[in-house]
Amino acid sequence: MDSQAGPGSGDYVALEARHGARNYQPVPVVVDRALDCLVWDVEGREYIDMMGAYSAVSHGHLHPRLVAAARAQLERVAVTSRAYYGTTLGPFLARLCSLAGFERALPMNTGAEAVETAIKCARRWGYRVKGIPDGQAVILVARGNFHGRTSTIVGFSSEPSYRDGFGPFAPGFRHFDFGDMASVRAAAGPDTCAVLVEPIQGEAGVIVPPPGFFRELREWCTRERVLLIDDEVQAGLGRTGRWFAFEHEGMRPDALVLGKALGGGLLPVSAFLADEPVMGVFDPGSHGSTFGGNALAAAVALEGLRVLQEERLVERAAELGPYLMGRLKDVQRAARPLIRDVRGRGLWVGVDIDPAQGSARRLVEQLAQRGVLSKETHETVIRFAPPLTITPALIDRAVDIFRQVALQAIRR
């Protein structure tokens, strides 16, 4: 490295390539600092963040109220474990339960940990409440699901690359087709304790289910005495233009999984929420986490909920989501046959690229070269999920650049 000029992007890329595991293939942008919806690399180039760290930065980068809350808490206490009570966890849980409409919440760190918590809770509920014989409980999961990366969770993924080389996998899961109630009924049996499902399948390409599916699924789960567990790690906390995506269907799940945005873009925070008849299956020693619900995390998450509410960021997503969707559909009309579909809800949109016409990864890299950050999934879909603080002007700038990139790809 040049000691006078300082390390450049290439130096940092080389360091990660030399010492890091090869489990990611990042877009070649080395982020040095960020503020709200803008990011700057090591060389000082500016980018519009249209990715929002998979919804983890819904409040915008380094929201001043969240940074202040973190600093204030860091001067008091950060981590003591759940061996003791504290002054921040109770207020956070109370606010979260009030907003989500559940009686209890169990705090964890990552989204995958909260999903693992949901799995444990569903199984124990199946044995202790529904009366399923021990060791026989089954959870129904959708094909195309993405609930995390633990060995249990990838075991019920339908994506071969997520499973390859990581078995043997835990039994107790059956698949159904996302959005298809006939498939749900066919997969179910007397041993079914729960349905674990995303309201929108993000990693699968921002797949929105048919209208009425979740309402019908809710009714079926009630009739069959099956828990409906809604994984809103990406979709929750305003991303779709409602506090929670299940509200679009006018229904309520039995349990809710939250993460990503819950940490305000500063640190990992997740939670599993349910009412007492479900959450009551946990007793002291049955589940836990050293860092889950730590004082610092609870302080930041509580302020994050206040910011979402007081700065009306959920309403902002509801207002600007259709605008972003409309602008991207305009690009689709201009860039046929490259763009096959534009779909999503709120500030969460997937642009489906025809692989015969172009590469989603290549388009993402070209966008980055021109100052727009996004990310591909499954090699054919470009995801746009900016912070909820995005402005119409920044949307226009980002979409105009995407239009240029898409039209250039067609001309090649």
Distance of alpha carbon 185 from the chain centroid: 27
Decide the pairing of beta strands 46-49 and 104-108: unpaired
Neighbours of 292 (CB within 10 A): 24
Torsion of CA 265, 274, 278, 210, to 10 degrees: -90
- Active-site pick, 41, 230, 231, 352: 231
- Before 211, cis peptide (omega within 30)? no
Of the candidates 25, 13, 58, the residue with the CA atom closest to the CA atom of residue 161: 25
All residues at 6 or more sequence positions from 196 whose CB lies less than 8 Å from its CB, including other chains: 115, 118, 119, 122, 139, 140, 141, 145, 147, 229, 231
260 tagged catalytic: yes
* Euclidean distance between CA atoms 48 and 167, whole angstroms: 40
Instruction: State the catalytic residue, choosing from 49, 246, 260, 282.
Output: 260
DSSP state for residue 22 in the 8-state scheme: S
Residues belonging to the chain: 412
Round to whole Å and give the CA distance between 216 and 23.
39
Question: Of 107, 82, 123, 109, which Cα lies nearest the Cα of 272?
Answer: 107
DSSP 8-state assignment for residue 207: B
Report helix, strand or coil for 369.
helix
What are the φ/ψ torsions at residue 274 (nearest 5 degrees)?
A: -165, 170
Of the candidates 92, 102, 146, 246, the residue annotated as catalytic is 146
- Residue 295 φ/ψ, nearest 5 degrees: -60, -45
d(CA 115, CA 108): 10
Q: Does residue 329 carry a catalytic annotation?
A: no
Q: Give CA–CA dist 330/64, Å, rounded.
A: 35
* Residue 149 backbone zone (phi > 0: left; psi -120 to 50: alpha; other: beta): alpha
Active site residue 120: no
CA distances from 17 to 10, 21, 41, 369, 376 (A): 10, 8, 18, 20, 21
How far is CA 157 from each of CA 138, 144, 298, 406, rounded to the nearest angstrom? 15, 7, 31, 32
Active-site amino acid positions: 146, 231, 260
